[in-house]
Structure 1
Amino acid sequence: MKAPNEILSVWNQFNSFPMETLTKVWYFEKGGSQKQRDVSLMKEHYEQFGITGNCFDLAIWLLDEFKQAGVKAYSIGHDLHTPEAHVGVIAVCEKGNRYLCDLGDQWIQPILIDCEDENFRNDRMTGYFPAADVQIEQREKDILVHYYRPNGKVSRQTYDTTPIESNILLQAAEFSQNHIKQHPLLECRIPYKNEIAHFEFYNFESFLSTSEGKFYDEPLHTIEEWATRISEKTGYDAGFVLEALSIYQKLR
């Protein structure tokens, strides 16, 4: 079920990349009329502040890296041109097998989605998604992912594997970057004991999801304290985080 090296070598470049909306609100205030950044600008901001972006930023950046590496890849998603939009990437190996690559949801690594392949398994697997086992069920045009949490909760997500045309992706990305939600969100993968756990910051609360359960952090009372905590978790420039959180604070 694991991707071959040709895909992993690209994916692994993004192992420390959070998914977040701090960059989104910051660039909405700082940028020009076009709100979706191109890859060169994303790389520039990464060098300056250590920042990444939301699921559209990550998908566009990942697609570009696959292209540079000579790996066929395309974007997939749902609810495009709405505030609930989400996008990921399908990468295709030299054998023709497809692998789901979803940085927006902070998967640990890509996963095979073609049930015809001899390596495909339909049982529960660990090591692909933080703090949960996953099970892949392939359908005609989509795949269904089952997530099994430590507390016994099971959730499901459907991925439509129909390729999104590049111009449609950019239009949907521009729509997303122009629609700011009230509460800030940041998710990142963090080493925890012998696993990769999931840290989430949302609406000025944060917690860590692990195979042992969910652990909430102590509440903080100032955006300066939050900027420090987020910077320590992500490596983001603390000044950038404080500036982005200040913008969100005005929206509350």
Structure 2
Amino acid sequence: MPSEDILKTWRKFDHFPMETVSKLWVYNKHKAGRQRDIAQMREDRQKYGLSGNCFDLAIWLLDEFKKDGIKAYPIGHDIDAEGAHVAVIAVDETGGRYLCDLGDQWITPILIDSHRQDFSEEKLSGVFPAAKIQVKPGREHLEILYHRPNGKVSKQTYDTTPIEAEEFRTAAEASQNRISPPPLIECRVGYKDETAHWEFDDWEITWSTTEGLIKKESNETMSELADVIETTTGMDKGIVQTVLELYRKREKE
């Protein structure tokens, strides 16, 4: 288990969705993408319930770890490409490294050091919504296996080499300028006695639960859909509706 210090910082983000609404909203306002600074992200969160994509969330989490006196650094994969993904490694007082991935909406950080006594390669429950996970560490790469209730196994791979600050800033700025429909929103939601994964992708809403996938076709109007998203994530309905319409327009161009 992560130290209480790491968990205390991590839990500040329990209700932050991962979303690409902010990306197009900022892009449309300034006619160009840009990586928001911490002050702007805080303001947008307070006023509109926005959070951001994986770069936004990693930057904000790193800042909170720094303020709380916890060593942390960014990692990821394909950070200069369309499918870029970034996360954070937090290091506890004994040197243990923990993967902290708000972009993928993990429930809790996970130990990645196989030499540690408390490390486990077993399938673990309760650390990721609606899946048991296995950690497969390598010298420079980390592989995460997700075992779904239907028996399907998917994976995510990270390069665990710390990303240099300038490279990270450049990749973040580039990411904010890549606007690819459809919009994507993910968050952790309560479902019965578990934490499930709620996702809006390809204009469909899906709950991933230990009982399996629950899909809902989005037949609502944009206004009704924005209502659902606001209720689920806390994001401002007006902004959500405007951005959804912008994404739909881009799909047709």
TM-score range, shorter chain: over 0.9
**SS of the residue 2:125 aligns to:** strand
Conserved in 1, the CA contact under 8 Å of 2:184 and 2:201?
A: yes
Q: Give the aligned residue type for 1:226.
A: L
Q: 1:154-211: per-residue Cα shift (whole Å, max 9, x none)?
A: 1122111000011111100000000100211000000111110000101211110000
| Equivalent in the alignment of 1:54 | 53
CA distance in 1, matches of 2:51, 2:104: 14
Q: Is 2:94 the counterpart of 1:82?
A: no
Q: Give the aligned residue type for 1:188.
A: C
1:221 Cα offset (Å): 3.5
| Equivalent in the alignment of 1:66 | 65
Q: Give the aligned residue type for 2:122.
A: D
| Equivalent in the alignment of 1:139 | 138
Judge which range, 209-218 or 59-68, deviates more.
209-218
**SS of the residue 1:242 aligns to:** helix
1:78 Cα offset (Å): 0.9
CA distance in 2, matches of 1:17, 1:237: 13
CA distance in 1, matches of 2:239, 2:28: 13
CA distance in 2, matches of 1:182, 1:156: 23
Q: 1:49-74: per-residue Cα shift (whole Å, max 9, x none)?
A: 01100000000000000000010000
| Equivalent in the alignment of 2:183 | 184
CA distance in 2, matches of 1:228, 1:34: 26
Q: Is 2:152 the counterpart of 1:153?
A: yes
Relative to the length of structure 1, the TM-score reads 0.97
**SS of the residue 1:126 aligns to:** coil
Output aligned runs, 1:229-248, within 5 Å.
Answer: 229-248=228-247
Cα 1:34/1:154, change in 2 over 3 Å: closer
1:33 Cα offset (Å): 5.3
Q: Give the aligned residue type for 1:65.
A: E
Q: Give the aligned residue type for 2:239.
A: F
Q: Is 2:3 the counterpart of 1:4?
A: yes
1:219 Cα offset (Å): 2.9
1:32 Cα offset (Å): 6.6
| Equivalent in the alignment of 2:116 | 117
CA distance in 1, matches of 2:124, 2:5: 22
| Equivalent in the alignment of 2:204 | 205
Conserved in 1, the CA contact under 8 Å of 2:218 and 2:225?
A: no
| Equivalent in the alignment of 2:165 | 166
Equivalent residue pairs, number: 251
List gaps (5 residues or longer) in structure 2: none
Output aligned runs, 1:24-43, within 5 Å.
Answer: 24-31=23-30, 35-43=34-42
1:34 Cα offset (Å): 6.0
1:218 Cα offset (Å): 4.3
**SS of the residue 2:52 aligns to:** coil
1:246 Cα offset (Å): 1.7
Cα 1:166/1:32, change in 2 over 3 Å: farther
Relative to the length of structure 2, the TM-score reads 0.97
Q: Give the aligned residue type for 1:168.
A: E
Q: 1:132-155: per-residue Cα shift (whole Å, max 9, x none)?
A: 000111111122111100000011
| Equivalent in the alignment of 2:194 | 195
